[in-house]
Structure 1
Amino acid sequence: MGRKATSDVLERFVRYCEVPSQSDPRTAQTVPSTPAQFDMARVVAADLRDLGAQDVTLDEHAYVTAHWPASVGAEKRPALAFCCHLDTAWQTYGSPVHPQVKRYEGGRLVLGSGRDGAEVALDPATNPELKDLIGEDLVTSDGTSLLGGDDKAAVAMAVSLLARLAENPAIPHPALALAFVPDEEIGHGAALLDLDALGAAYGYTIDAGPLGEFCYETFNAAEATIRANGRSVHTGTAKDVMVNASEALLRVHQLIPPQDRPEFTQDREGFFYLERIEGNCEDARADYIIRDHDRNRFEARKDLLRSAVAQVNEEYALRPSAAAAQPVLSIEIRDQYRNMAEVITRPENAHLIESARRAYAACGVTMRTVPMRGGTDGAQLSFRGLPCANLSACYHNAHGVTEFVPVRELETMVDVLQALMGIYAEG
């Protein structure tokens, strides 16, 4: 569909990856959680203005929004939204990022050395999809950080789509509303996006995995913080006096079914994930996330964690220590998002699924509908009144130093977005 020999989207993607923009759950009380996200927001806003996008706005929370007018004949069609996120994952190194384009010729592909000096490589044993990518170019990091394909590949796709429209305004498309949001990786995402100003009737997030993936269902999600208050004394005189806050948290973790951890689950199986634990004898804290596609099982998981905390408090209350007379543990659970399938599967929104299928097929891609084992801005947006299903961003091995994006997938996905616009321009 008119793809250039020199790929505009590849150039943008590499350039965006070089701008560090990790979010940070430890400073989630501010939006954005990190100043670096403003750096990425400014780069994107400048690119949008250079292309001639309308109403380009960068607000005080690092949200970037813009509009693009409809092609001739599609002015009366509802505006279509595309949403991507500006931040990258916080779970590993994210700065500096040194993207590289490497040809994959089969076998192991060495990316470089990690920060500990150990070799970092892609291996067909852990990424069997590599057998279908022999002879193709892959964008990777050099092994010292994540790449940031989640979600900068999507940002590059969306901006490159506008570049096509700037070159050829006759490409059929409805009015477009673009949103680039911060802090998606820490569960905030589109929460502060002004939907009235955005002005779209429906849309798509671009934040799924390999080419062809399509998601209209996500986990129900919550985060939990368990705090422990102990009493520290010299270990030589600790009997019946010491209360070890860190050990109280470990006791809670023992009560969580071990099979319900992410590394033992798949498909629609939910889990508890211990994100971090820190502290000492007197003060300790554990942060969990709770996930399940089924709403009833999700609520049961929250109850299980509350019950585990209550049980450990009861166990400590039976000890002779006076310090244990007060509850050692407290828990706070905060809902993050709901399964957007509740919204997307409504009859009035079924077009989001079928239109995506048609757009993929028009580009020779078979759509694979998968239950998303994570979240997306579409979950928030759908329940706020902007139904949004989720399209491929074409990243593999997200949130780690072996993340990669095949160039062919990156470029093809811009074609898919163009095809999708054409479908919504038809009426």
Structure 2
Amino acid sequence: MQKIIDRFISYVTIDTQSDPKSTSTPSTAKQWILANRLVEELRDIGMQDVSVDENGYVMATLPSNTDHEVPVIGFIAHMDTSPDFNGTNVRPRVIEKYDGKDIVLNEEENIVLSPRYFEDLVQYKGQTLIVTDGTSLLGADDKAGIAEIVTAMEYLIGHPEIKHGKIRVGFTPDEEIGRGAGKFNVEKFGAEWAYTMDGSQIGELEYENFNAAGVTIRIKGKSVHPGYAKGKMVNSMLIANKFANMLPPKEIPQRTEGTEGFFHFHSIKGDVENTVLEGIVRDHDFDKFEARKELLQKIANELNFRYGNVITLEMEDQYYNMREKIEPVFHIVEIAEQAMKAAGVPPIIKPIRGGTDGSQLSYMGLPCPNIFAGGHNFHGKYEYVPVQSMQKATEVIVQIARLTAEQQAGL
């Protein structure tokens, strides 16, 4: 247990936040610190063909130890952490034998991680938790995944009696800003399929996700002295508000679940003359996804007719539901499910209410379901990870490697 704790903490104390405003890859120079450390560590544990390319993508190989042909498989995690919350000076704290009660993260600021609000905590009573100090995110998304993959490879190297085929591992930058798969060299990676270790609670196994688009609405108004504005002023902020209110009021993140889609505006900046409204569109069903984009265009057209071509609507598809690419090779999900059961983990198969590198990689020719990494409450100060969940994720990786080889041998 201590080895994976130490490994995880060594990763999360490196600030690797990505930056959506940057045009470089990686988007932040500090991601190179972890990339280079991982290159050294992978070589130290005995991995081969270890490399990091000019864009910060780390890859390595564990050669096959079988005498029969086995499909090349891969395991992938991302190095960056979310820009949504502070990721600098991460100071993790290890809590042994969690007692099921409130955890005071920061006494001075009265920041408390409570099972009364975060009900999932209860299931980890008696386990070892790693939490934040209340001033930053933790980074279990997705440094738990990295720790699990490296630990699993180290275990397989130390236990040659476990037969497996060739395994490729990959660590990507910039997943949190939607660019993790953008410059991933699928041909160089050379796997028939892979698994992203980027899910949340123990047992999660996911092979479908949202179809996603980003939306920018630019509104031009006319500023006139308010005392003499009748019939002349056009307030772009009020039009932005009208636009938002013309969308279905129940189809927002806080009122949807499961496979239900939504509209979400996450930023508004403006004054009388210029307002910019930014948001996202999400839906698991592709036809409904397209209908949502059509509704946005319809509203823009209606308001342009009413106010005189004041709205410019920009929409860009970001990723698609990977289910379409996974279902034709569904045995890769079944192997993961069997591996979880072999590790004593009841599978929780459900759709992702978000995206993952795996969705983009699946459309790039690398089918890539998503497996739990164990963390909870990502992207904020209440993030935590049970160490036992990381251990189980490591076991699942080992079991996937073993089962893939055994099934190919007909055992």
Band of TM-score, shorter chain: over 0.9
Query: What is the aligned counterpart of 1:353 among 303, 310, 333?
Result: 333
Q: Confirm or deny: 8 A CA contact 1:10 1:410 kept in the other structure.
A: no
CA shift, 1:135, in A, is: 1.6
**Partner SS, residue 288 of structure 1:** strand
* 2:251 maps to 1:256: no
Q: 1:296 to 1:130 in 2, by over 3 A?
A: same
Query: What is the aligned counterpart of 1:46 among 35, 40, 57?
Result: 40
Q: Confirm or deny: 8 A CA contact 1:7 1:411 kept in the other structure.
A: no
CA distance in 2, matches of 1:35, 1:258: 41
For this pair of structures, how many residues does the alignment match? 406
Q: Confirm or deny: 8 A CA contact 2:47 2:61 kept in the other structure.
A: yes
Unaligned runs of 5+ in 1: 1-5, 318-326
Q: Confirm or deny: 8 A CA contact 1:72 1:170 kept in the other structure.
A: no
Partner of 1:390: 370
CA distance in 1, matches of 2:304, 2:137: 40
CA shift, 1:328, in A, is: 1.7
Alignment-mate amino acid for residue 338 of structure 2: R
CA distance in 2, matches of 1:170, 1:383: 35
CA shift, 1:291, in A, is: 0.6
* 2:347 maps to 1:367: yes
Q: CA RMSD in A?
A: 1.7
Q: Deviations over 1:24-46 (max 9, x none)?
A: 2233x433222222222222222
CA shift, 1:332, in A, is: 1.1
- Within a 5 Å distance, the mapping from 1:79-94 to structure 2 comes to 79-94=72-87
CA shift, 1:170, in A, is: 3.6
CA shift, 1:396, in A, is: 0.8
**Partner SS, residue 250 of structure 2:** helix
* 2:12 maps to 1:17: yes
Query: What is the aligned counterpart of 1:159 among 145, 150, 164?
Result: 150
Q: 1:351 to 1:8 in 2, by over 3 A?
A: same
Partner of 1:77: 70
CA distance in 1, matches of 2:32, 2:242: 41
**Partner SS, residue 32 of structure 1:** coil
CA distance in 1, matches of 2:237, 2:45: 54
CA shift, 1:238, in A, is: 3.4
CA distance in 2, matches of 1:63, 1:412: 26
Q: Confirm or deny: 8 A CA contact 1:396 1:405 kept in the other structure.
A: yes
Query: What is the aligned counterpart of 1:341 among 317, 320, 323?
Result: 323
CA distance in 1, matches of 2:20, 2:385: 26
Query: What is the aligned counterpart of 1:218 among 196, 209, 217?
Result: 209
**Partner SS, residue 138 of structure 2:** coil
Partner of 1:200: 191
CA distance in 2, matches of 1:415, 1:45: 23
Q: 1:87 to 1:120 in 2, by over 3 A?
A: same
Task: Calculate the TM-score normalised by the size of structure 1.
Answer: 0.91
Partner of 1:95: 88
Query: What is the aligned counterpart of 1:270 among 254, 261, 265?
Result: 261
Q: Confirm or deny: 8 A CA contact 2:66 2:165 kept in the other structure.
A: no
CA distance in 1, matches of 2:158, 2:236: 62
CA shift, 1:8, in A, is: 2.0
CA shift, 1:312, in A, is: 2.0
Q: Deviations over 1:308-330 (max 9, x none)?
A: 2222222212xxxxxxxxx2221
CA shift, 1:229, in A, is: 2.5
CA shift, 1:73, in A, is: 2.7
CA shift, 1:130, in A, is: 2.0
Partner of 1:329: 311
CA distance in 1, matches of 2:181, 2:314: 23
**Partner SS, residue 192 of structure 1:** coil
CA distance in 2, matches of 1:221, 1:351: 26
* 2:408 maps to 1:415: no
Task: Calculate the TM-score normalised by the size of structure 2.
Answer: 0.94
* 2:391 maps to 1:400: no
CA distance in 1, matches of 2:131, 2:401: 29
Partner of 1:125: 116
CA distance in 2, matches of 1:31, 1:254: 37
- Within a 5 Å distance, the mapping from 1:293-312 to structure 2 comes to 293-312=284-303
CA distance in 2, matches of 1:247, 1:43: 51
* 2:102 maps to 1:108: yes
CA shift, 1:380, in A, is: 0.9
Unaligned runs of 5+ in 2: none
**Partner SS, residue 21 of structure 2:** helix
**Partner SS, residue 259 of structure 1:** coil
Q: Confirm or deny: 8 A CA contact 1:219 1:292 kept in the other structure.
A: yes
CA shift, 1:409, in A, is: 0.6
CA shift, 1:71, in A, is: 1.4
CA distance in 2, matches of 1:410, 1:105: 19
**Partner SS, residue 48 of structure 1:** helix
Q: Deviations over 1:128-182 (max 9, x none)?
A: 2222211211111111111111111001111111222333334322111111112
* Larger displacement relative to structure 2 (54-63 or 400-409): 54-63
CA shift, 1:335, in A, is: 0.8
**Partner SS, residue 353 of structure 1:** helix
- Within a 5 Å distance, the mapping from 1:129-208 to structure 2 comes to 129-208=120-199
